[in-house]
Structure 1
Amino acid sequence: MKNQEMHEYRCTVEATVAVAGGKWKPLVIYYLLSGTKRFGELRKLIGGVTQRSLTLQLRELEAHGIISREVFAEVPPRVEYSLTELGLTLSPVLDAMKAWGDNYLSWQQTDE
C-alpha cells in the first residue's frame, strides 16, 4: 500500500480505522496475534463471517501491509496468514480493545 496513492486522512484515528477497523479486521488481527492461521481456521474462530467477506478483509489487510499471505504449492493448495512486523505493532491496540471489552462486559453484568 505504501507505493499506492496516499489517502488524505483528517486525523490519525481515521487512518487507523481505515486500515484496521470494521467488523472483521480487528478479529482477524486478534486471532493472528497468537500465530499463523489458515483461512478455514480464521473463519471458524471468527464465526458468522462469510467466505467472501473474510477474503475481502484479508486482501485489504494484505494490501495495507498488516498481514502476509503464504501459498504452498500442494494439492490441495494451502494458504497461511500471519501478521507482518507492522501488523504486530497493532498488538497494544487490540490488547486495549480486549481490556475495554472485558470491563464493559463486567459493567453490563453488574448493571443487570
Structure 2
Amino acid sequence: MTLKNQQETASASACPMLQFIDLIAGKWAIPILYRLIVMDRPVRFGELQRAVGTITQKELTRQLRAFEQRGLVRRTVYAEVPPRVEYQITALGSTLQQPLQQLAGWMERYGGQLNRSAS
C-alpha cells in the first residue's frame, strides 16, 4: 500500500460519519437497536426476534454479539435449566434514540421525493 493510500484509509477511518455507518451497517442493525431502545427492558432472544421481524437466528445472534462488543447491548446469562439469556440496551446504546428518530423523521418527510426507479 502506498503512503497516499495509507493516508486516505486513515482519514476515512477517522471520519465520524463513516464510523457511524460502520456501527449501523447491515439490514437489521437499526431495527434491532430501535426495538431494544423502545422496549427498554431485558428481552429474551425469541421475543426480540419476533419483535424485529423476519430476521434469522444466525443474523440476530451476529448483530447482538457485535453490539455487545461495542457496549451498546448488555447480555445477561442466567444459570438455569434451560439456560435463560436476556438482552438489554445499555445507557450508551440508548443515546442512539435521538439520531435514529431524526433519520426516521427525515425519511417520513422526504422519502417520497426519492427516485425509486430500479438501477
Give the TM-score band, short-chain normalised: 0.7 to 0.9
Displacement of 1:58: 0.3
- 60, 67, 84: which one aligns with 2:73: 67
1:47 alignment counterpart:
53
1:5 alignment counterpart:
none
Quote the Cα distance in structure 2 between the aligned partners of 1:86 and 1:77. Answer: 27
1:23 alignment counterpart:
27
Unaligned ranges ≥5, structure 1: 1-7
Q: Kindly indicate whether residue 104 of structure 2 is the aligned counterpart of residue 101 of structure 1.
A: no
Q: Considering fraction of residues, name the structure with more helix.
A: 2
What are the Cα deviations for residues 57-105 of structure 1, in whole angstroms up to 9, with x where unaligned?
0000001111100111111111111111111111111111222233356
Native 8 Å contact 1:38 1:79 kept in 2? yes
Q: Which 4+ stretches in 1 moved above 4 angstroms?
A: none
Aligned length: 100
CA RMSD after TM alignment: 1.7
Change (3 A) 1:75 1:101: farther
**Larger-Rg structure:** 2
What are the Cα deviations for residues 2-57 of structure 1, in whole angstroms up to 9, with x where unaligned?
xxxxxx51410111111223211111110011213211111111112110011000
Identical counterparts, % of pairs: 41
Change (3 A) 1:21 1:73: same
Native 8 Å contact 1:20 1:61 kept in 2? no
2:93 alignment counterpart:
87
